[in-house]
Amino acid sequence: MTQAEAKQAKRKDMPSARHLRVGIYGASGTTGTELTGLLQRHPACRVSFATSRSHAGEDLRSVEPSAPSVTLRNPTDVSLDEIDLAFVCLPHGHAANLVAQCVHAGVPCIDLSGDLRLRDEELHSRVYGSARPAGLAERAVYSITELCDASLDGVDVVSNPGCYPTCVGLALEPLARAGWLEGTVVVNALSGISGAGRPATAATHFIAVHDDVKPYKLGRSHRHTAEMEQSIDRWMPADQPRPTVIFNPHVVPMERGMLATTTVHLPGKSASAVHEQLAVRYRDCPLIEVLPYGQEARIRMVARTPRAVIGVTDVAGSDHVVITSAIDNLLKGAASQAIQNMNRRFGFEDHLGLS
């Protein structure tokens, strides 16, 4: 940690120790493994524990050879007393109870699951089909870091966004805030198979995805549609009708990475005005790059990085504009964004530990 960073850490509720002691629940998963690597290298953190039930006692490297060497511990054998901050990388439906335990123990946490992203209880239970502890979602602040205007100072719970809603939200927020969105927003998106987590199923096994592109949960049936619409609703001026999102995800035979191609109806607005709006919005965001006008985003531009890229393309002879956006689903879509949110929560530079 540099002197300036150490000074900054003291300003907020950073513990008096030199390092923030962090615990990663679900470290053997695809996001937990990435996060453990980032936290091991983060100048202000020390990994106190990383958990897995099925690999307890094993080195994380036995699960993923490129991971850092950390002995995984059973979650029943660790204590919240050991840490100043918890990262919860569990499947939805299992994360919220652990988050509630952290809140009860006074340990801040960052939840990477979908359990606390949707504020409305009825909507959450309809979309996720699972209950969550009463009152917990109100304590959580949802944060796509660059777009979050709520303060994270001292919050109990940061709800880390979904990967698709991050990728699409970065493309749409500047237009939503300007009140430009209307009608139907059509998002066609591609994701690498790691978006489905580490355990292989009949649908995600190599032989099921290799040499193919598979559409799934088309239209409005993917859970992330509600999360995107919740964000658009927050961003848009109060007096304007909200657009409907049609979201068509596809799984592609790649390990990681995500690309969204979003078509918006913008009568009276040129593609170059959209490009300008995005470029101005992100000019002070070092991890978000708006590509030169007419250039499309590609997964190779961002894979294995915490960055996002956004491109704007004209649709000749129509009132539509196409925006392409790409992120690494495991990084900006999960682990590196969780680091950005931790940095913001504890008063570090947003991208500390991510360069």
Ligand X SMILES: NC(=O)c1ccc[n+]([C@@H]2O[C@H](COP(=O)([O-])OP(=O)(O)OC[C@H]3O[C@@H](n4cnc5c(N)ncnc54)[C@H](OP(=O)(O)O)[C@@H]3O)[C@@H](O)[C@H]2O)c1
Catalytic residues: 163
- Piece in contact with ligand X (CB under 6 A), picked from 50-58, 182-190, 294-302, 344-352: 50-58
Burial class (CB in 10 A: 0-12, 13-18, 19+), 196: middle
In this chain, which of 135, 199, 267, 294 binds ligand X, going by CB under 6 A? 199
Residue partners of 1: CB distance under 8 A and separation at least 6: 9, 18, 43, 44
Collapsing DSSP to helix, strand or coil, 312 comes out as strand
The single residue among 68, 75, 253, 347 that binds ligand X, judged by CB under 6 A, is: 75
The distance between the two most distant Cα atoms of the chain, rounded to a whole number of Å, is: 63
The reply on whether position 195 binds ligand X by CB under 6 A is: yes
**37 contributes a contact to ligand X by CB under 6 A:** no
Using the rule CB under 6 A, is 223 a contact of ligand X?
no
Q: What is the DSSP letter of 68?
A: -
314: β partners: 321
For residues 119 and 101, is the Cβ–Cβ distance under 8 A? no
From 48, 143, 145, 194, residue interacting with ligand X (rule: CB under 6 A): 194
133 binds ligand X, rule: CB under 6 A: no
Question: Regarding beta strands 258-265 and 214-215, do their DSSP bridges make them parallel or antiparallel, or are they unpaired?
Answer: unpaired
Nearer to ligand X, 23 or 114 (CB): 114
What tokens appear for 192 in the block?
């690498």
Cβ atoms 71, 57 nearer than 8 A: yes
174 touching ligand X, by CB under 6 A: no
Binding mask 319-348 toward ligand X (x if CB under 6 A, else -) reads: ----------xx--xx--------------
* Angle between helix 163-177 and 271-281 (nearest 10): 110
Residue among 204 and 295 whose Cβ is closer to ligand X: 204
Query: Whose Cβ is closer to ligand X: residue 32's or residue 174's?
Result: 32
Positions in the binding site for ligand X (CB under 6 A): 26-32, 52-55, 75, 89-92, 94-95, 112-114, 162-163, 194-195, 197-199, 329-330, 333-334
